[in-house]
Each structure stands twice: as C-alpha cells, then as structure tokens.
Amino acid sequence: MSEMDRVVARASQGVENLEQALHGLTTLRARVTHESGLVSVEVDEQGGMCGLWIVEALDRVDARELGRAVVEAAAQAAEIVAGRRDQILASLHDALTY
C-alpha cells in the first residue's frame, strides 16, 4: 500500500467516524421515571424535554410535588444525555487523534 493509499484510507476512516458521531449526537434520547412513579420525562439530544407522561390518578397529589417530580426526572434524563454525549465526543476524539 502506498503512502497516498494510507492517507486516503485514514481520511476515509476519519469521515466515517465523524458521520457515526454526528448520527449518535443527533439521535440521543433519555427517558427517566421519577422514583415516586408520578411522571416519566424524555429529553432530546440537547437536554430539552420532548416527552412527559403523568400518572392518571392525581387526585391526591400536591401540585408542588408533581412539579418537583417533573423537574427532578428531567434533570436526571438531561444528565444521562450529557454523559452519553461526552462518551461519543471522547470516542470521536480518540478515533481522530493520531
């Protein structure tokens, strides 16, 4: 294999790694159910809420408790997404560092 072939192969691998990372970053999602079981929250790749599921029986649930459960579940899901994003970026960095 010539030097030019090695350069082209390495560049092609770099592009493939970049495409895989981009796909991974744009499809990240995390869904967390609060420990109380009142809500489940899903966040997208940016940590923004994109789904919210609330139990049907809310007749004895305080609004503050419900709000706190939503915020806590959303924060947990956002942390999961951030951790996965960090893993993808670290893997990309390792793959592109020679």
What SS3 state is found at 53?
strand
pLDDT tier at 51 (50, 70, 90 boundaries)?
very high
State the alpha helices, DSSP H only, in the chain. 3-26, 63-96
In the predicted structure, residue 59 carries a pLDDT above the cut 70: yes
Tokens matching residue 85: 């994003």
Mean pLDDT for the stretch of residues 55-64: 91
Query: Measured in Å, how far apart are the chain's first and last C-alpha atoms?
Result: 19
- Please name the CATH architecture into which domain 3-96 falls: 2-Layer Sandwich (3.30)
User: Confidence class of residue 10 from pLDDT cuts 50, 70 and 90?
Assistant: confident
Percent of the chain with pLDDT over 90: 64
Cα Dmax for the chain: 73
Where exactly are the structural domains of the chain? 3-96
User: What pLDDT score was predicted for residue 90?
Assistant: 92
pLDDT band at 73 (very low <50, low <70, confident <90, very high): very high
How many of the other CB atoms lie within 10 Å of CB of 24?
Answer: 17
Q: Does the pLDDT of residue 41 top 90, yes or no? A: yes
Residue 98, pLDDT > 80, answer no
